[in-house]
Structures are given as C-alpha cells and as structure tokens.
Amino acid sequence: MLNGGFLNITSEIGKLKAVLLHRPGRELERLTPQYLQELLFDDIPWLNRMRQEHDGFAKVMTGRGADVYYYEELLEEVLKNKDIHESFVEDLVKICNIGNELLEKGIIEYLLTKTPAETVEIAISGLHKDDLPEIKREPCLLDYIKQEYRFYINPLPNLYFTRDPGTVIGQGLSINKMEMSARNRETMFLRYIYKYNPLFNGKNTPQWYDYNEKHSIEGGDILVLSDKVVAIGCSERTSANGIEILAQRLFENSNIEKVLAVKIPFTRAYMHLDTVFTMVDYDKFTIYPGIEDRVSVYELTKGRKMPKITPIDTLENSLKSALGLPAIKLIKTGRGDAITAAREQWNDATNTLAVAPGVIITYNRNEISNEYLRNNGIEVIEIEGSELVRGRGGPRCMSMPLVREEL
C-alpha cells in the first residue's frame, strides 16, 4: 500500500487538523430567480453577509487548531505552471459543452491571456457572454437560440459545500462523481489540486474514485465512522452501483473492512445522509427523528469481485456492531418534536461538524436542537448562518476534512 501522503481521515470526530473550504464569491451574485432550481438553491443569499458568516465558520476551526485551506488558493498555486494552466483551460472549456468549435477556441484564447487568479475566478464564478471580447467569426445558431442564457461558463454557487465533490477516506481521496450536472465541474478542480498541488502529494496518495466514472457518489453521503468502517448513504445523489464499486476498492486497497450502505428516502429535503444523520461523539449521533424507521441498512464486506451483502435489521444495531460498542445514543433533532425537527432539519440542524470528540459546530438558528445536544453532553459551538443556509447545507456540508487526529 502507498504511504506518506498528507491526508488522513479515520473518523468523523477525531480532532480536526486540516480542512478544505471555499469562501463564497461572485458566483453567488450570479444567481437569478429563473435559474435557482437548476442551480440547487432555494433563495438568493446576500453575499457580503454570507462571507462574514463563512469567515466566522473558518475562525472557529482555526481557533480549535485546524489549518484552513481554500480551493481557490490551492488551485491558483497549481495554475502558476504555464502548461498546467493551459491544460486546465482546455479541460474547463471541454467540460462546459459549449458546442461550437470556433467559439470554444476563442474562449480558450481569451482565458489564456488571464493570470492564474483570474482564471480561477472565472472558472468558479462563470464567464458572462458580455465579458468575452468580440471574436471574429460568423454567428452560429447557438448565438440566437440561447441568447436568453447569459453564460458561456456557468457559475458554480455550490462550491462552498466542499464536502460533496471530494472525500478523504483513510489516507486516500475519492474524487466524487456528482449526480447533479450543476456541480460536476467542482470535481474537476479537485482533480487538478490532487494531481498537481504538493499539499495533496498526489503521487503518494491513493485515489479511490474519479469524477469521470459512471455511477454517482457525493461526499455528503460518506461518513468515515472508524479506521475500519465507512457508512455510505444511498440517496437522491449516491447510487447503489457507486457504493458497491467504491466499497470493493476500499476493501482491496485500504484498511476499511466494512461499508454500511444506508438507503434513505430519495428526496431533496434529505439529499445526502449527512442531512439526516451525523456523528457527534464516540457513541453518539444526531438524527432526524423518524428517519430510523425509513432507512434500510446493508453491511458490505469484501467479496471476490464485488462486495458480499448482508441486510441488517436496524440502523442502531448496524452501528453498534460496526463500532464494537454495547450501546449508542441517537440524539433527535428538534428534541424529537415532529414540527420543530422538520423546520430545523430544513435549516441543517442535523448537519453538524465535529472538531473533536463531543465538540461540534452548528448554526445558531437551530435553537431547540442545539439545546438538546447540550443536554446530552455535547459541546455545541454556534455560528451565524442565515445567508449560508440558503444553499441548503450546514457546517458539515461546508467543509472537507483533510486531516483528523487518530482516535
């Protein structure tokens, strides 16, 4: 097995040492009511306030001893190499499916006049049609038909949910295949960072999955429960096929011995497993009440070509056996009250991020759930999130842990 990389995640709760974020930028100012649904938003955030809130989130993590890295900075470092810049620009235009060769060529030429920082900015916030200087060419039908749509390169307003495009499992990295096309390009950025940024030490870091694969897997569904067990939600975003493939690779190439496939209802309100269930301490989880009875759990272990599958009766039993614990505690959001829980789950009360065992970050707006977590012995650090929450994600969604202390 390869050894010597920087990445190391063997639990959900070990002290957080390094994390990858994206500070919301101009891409959020390119959301319009017309395209909200397509871009997976429910409302239009106020960017300045959102950035303040995001800085507050980052500050809590640095205050707790974690190094904070930003997508935009790691990618910019990589693009300082001229050849990599060139290949990135070509891949960027290719993945956007613009569909007219001359136009694509013009956009590539334009982007190659930009500095690495400017290219990163355009790659994330999009290329508005008005920003492209006139290219000498005959107009194509696309110019007329798609006139209403204002971008050659779409903005990526969901990039601040860094949890989803990539996941560190053990000492390796899964570059995920997004189910939603609005988010596909995010994974390509991570691939460049993994391959070329020395921090990721790509040569010595195994890659478990790639965004070019056929079956979707999104990071919000992957919970690294221990150095031997991973839970993966089968959801609106993560396919059963993807889970099987990733599981078998982990069994063959890492220390992981068991994958719990947790099928949750396929609906936007519970888009990923971490929107209804997160780990908060050695033996404690927070859960959206009622979901325990609507999930089915399958234990996957190493098979000859594909994993062996054993259905397990309850989520609770699967966790106890996987973690080797006599008992676990499921702490219900909204103190178990159906209306409070539904309201607070929508605002990501269940989507907590542990910075150490029993110490979690949550949004301050979820008052009842936060108080109930405290009553159950959890230290809750609250952050502002009135604007951040409008993209439908909480502290766990907004972070991609790179290194945690071993338990």
**Position closest to ligand CIR via CB:** 220
Give the span between the Cα atoms of 20 and 65, in whole angstroms.
14
Q: Are 129 and 139 in contact (CB under 8 A)?
A: no
Would residue 140 show up in a list of annotated catalytic residues for this protein? no
Q: Which of 25, 170, 220, 401 binds ligand CIR (CB under 6 A)?
A: 220
Q: Which is nearer to ligand CIR, 113 or 267 (CB)?
A: 267
Per-residue x/- marks for ligand CIR, 254-273, CB under 6 A? -----------------xx-
Q: Which is nearer to ligand CIR, 117 or 180 (CB)?
A: 180
Q: Which of 397, 399, 400, 404 binds ligand CIR (CB under 6 A)?
A: 397
Per-residue x/- marks for ligand CIR, 172-201, CB under 6 A? --------x--x------------------
State which of positions 89-118 bind ligand CIR (CB under 6 A): none
Q: How far is the CB of 218 from ligand CIR (least distance, A)?
A: 7
State which of positions 156-175 bind ligand CIR (CB under 6 A): 158, 161, 163-164
Choices 115-123, 293-301, 332-340, 389-397 (CB under 6 A): range interacting with ligand CIR: 389-397
Choices 26-34, 99-107, 133-141, 387-395 (CB under 6 A): range interacting with ligand CIR: 387-395
Q: Which is nearer to ligand CIR, 88 or 288 (CB)?
A: 288
Angle at 277 between CA 274 and CA 278, to 5 degrees: 75
Per-residue x/- marks for ligand CIR, 271-310, CB under 6 A? xx-xx-----------------------------------
Q: How far is the CB of 59 from ligand CIR (least distance, A)?
A: 21
Give the span between the Cα atoms of 92 and 179, in whole angstroms.
19
The residue written with tokens 């099928």 in the block is 263
State which of positions 24-43 bind ligand CIR (CB under 6 A): 40
Q: Which of 15, 365, 390, 392 binds ligand CIR (CB under 6 A)?
A: 392
Q: Which of 126, 391, 395, 401 binds ligand CIR (CB under 6 A)?
A: 391
Residues designated catalytic:
397
Sites of contact with ligand CIR (CB under 6 A) = 40, 158, 161, 163-164, 180, 183, 220, 271-272, 274-275, 391-393, 397
